[in-house]
Each structure stands twice: as structure tokens, then as C-alpha cells.
Structure 1
Amino acid sequence: MILELADIRIHPGQQLAFDAAIQRGVEQIISKAKGFVGFKIHKGIESPERYVLTIVWQTLENHTVDFRESPAFAEWRAIVGPFFAAAPTVEHFSLLAQSH
């Protein structure tokens, strides 16, 4: 399993609209992608224009190739992209350890 972490900054004052858009985009588009396992969306408390989206994929290629190179990626960006103050920072992680 691979964890995708997207650090997202949006334009000030757009939080309510973005809350709905990001949830709709993940649930209607990303969740149908090959290799999608699950997601979490966190909103910033000290920085209300900052969001952290984490998505678990079966493989790195499920995100970087299967999703990113599909028409679904353009659909996703059409929903959330207008809110971005800057391009999100996206990185991938493998699990080292966890608690239960």
C-alpha cells in the first residue's frame, strides 16, 4: 500500500465551497479509480486555507499512471482546481510502522 499526501492551499474565504467540492471530487471520481483503497481529508485549524488530503493506493502506479494519466484526473482538477491558491505539493509514502 502507498500513501499519497497532498498539501493543498486554497484562496481565502473559499473554505465552505471547497469543503463540498473536495468531498464530491474524491467520492465521485477518485474513489472509482483503479487501486483506490481509502482517503482522509483534514482541514487546517491554525491555517484555515490549508488542507491535507491523504489517499491510500494499492500501488504507486495506480496513482501516478492509472489515475493521473486518465480522463478522471482532468475531471478531478476541474472540480477542485479553481480553489487552489498554488499547485498542491504531492508526495508518496510507504508504511514503516503503525499502532493498532
Structure 2
Amino acid sequence: MVLEAAMLQVKPGLTAAFEASFKEASPLIASIEGYLGHELQHCLEDDHKYLLLVKWRTLEDHTVGFRGSAQYQEWKALLHSYYSPFPVVEHFTSINLD
């Protein structure tokens, strides 16, 4: 499993609209092969900051499958105008601590 993490900085005054657009966009990402789940966390210290976490089966399910899809074009149209600066997206895997 791969965990995608993106810190989203939403432009001032747009948080309510962003949250509504994110609800609309969520089924788009959920429809992609290899998608395992996602959550959006709202920062307690900074009202305009969110953490997006998405679980993917493989890195390519995100970087090729989702980003190469028609759903991603819709996702971009719904969400990308809210961010400033544009978020850095990183991918993580679990470490076995046994």
C-alpha cells in the first residue's frame, strides 16, 4: 500500500467553497482502479490548511492511473484553483517495526 500525502493551503475566504467542491470531487478519485480510501483533515492551528491522505494499491495507480484519467481532469477543474501555493504531493510506505 502507498500513502499519498498533500498539504493543501486554501486561499483565504474560500474554505467553505473548497470543502463543498471536495465533497463533489471525492467520488472521482474513489472510482479509480487501485484506490483504497482517502480522508481530508482540517488543521486546528491554521484555518486555511488541510491534509489530504489517499491510500493507493501502488504508486502507479495514482501517478499513471488517476493522473492520466478523465476523472483527474474533472478533479483539477473542481479543486486546483483553491490552492496557493500549489501543494507538493508525496508518497509513503510503511516501515515494518517488528
| TM-score after normalising by structure 2 | 0.92
In structure 2, what is the Cα distance between the partners aligned to 1:75 and 1:41? 18
> Partner of 1:86: helix, strand, or coil?
coil
- 2-structure distance, mates of 1:29, 1:57: 14
Root mean square deviation of aligned Cα:
1.3
Show structure 1 runs of 4+ deviating over 2 A.
none
Displacement of 1:97 after TM fit?
A: 4.9
Matches for 1:1-100 after TM superposition, within 5 Å: 1-26=1-26, 28-97=27-96
Q: Which runs of 5+ in 2 are unaligned?
A: none
Paired residues, number: 97
Cα distance in structure 2, aligned partners of 1:97 and 1:24 = 36
How far apart are the structure 1 equivalents of 2:96 and 2:24? 31
SS in structure 2 of the partner of residue 77 of structure 1: helix
Q: Percent identity?
A: 34
Q: Which amino acid aligns with 1:53?
A: L
State the TM-score, normalized to the length of structure 1.
Answer: 0.91
Q: Distance in 2 between matches of 1:47 and 1:18?
A: 15
Q: Structure 1 regions of 5+ residues with no counterpart?
A: none
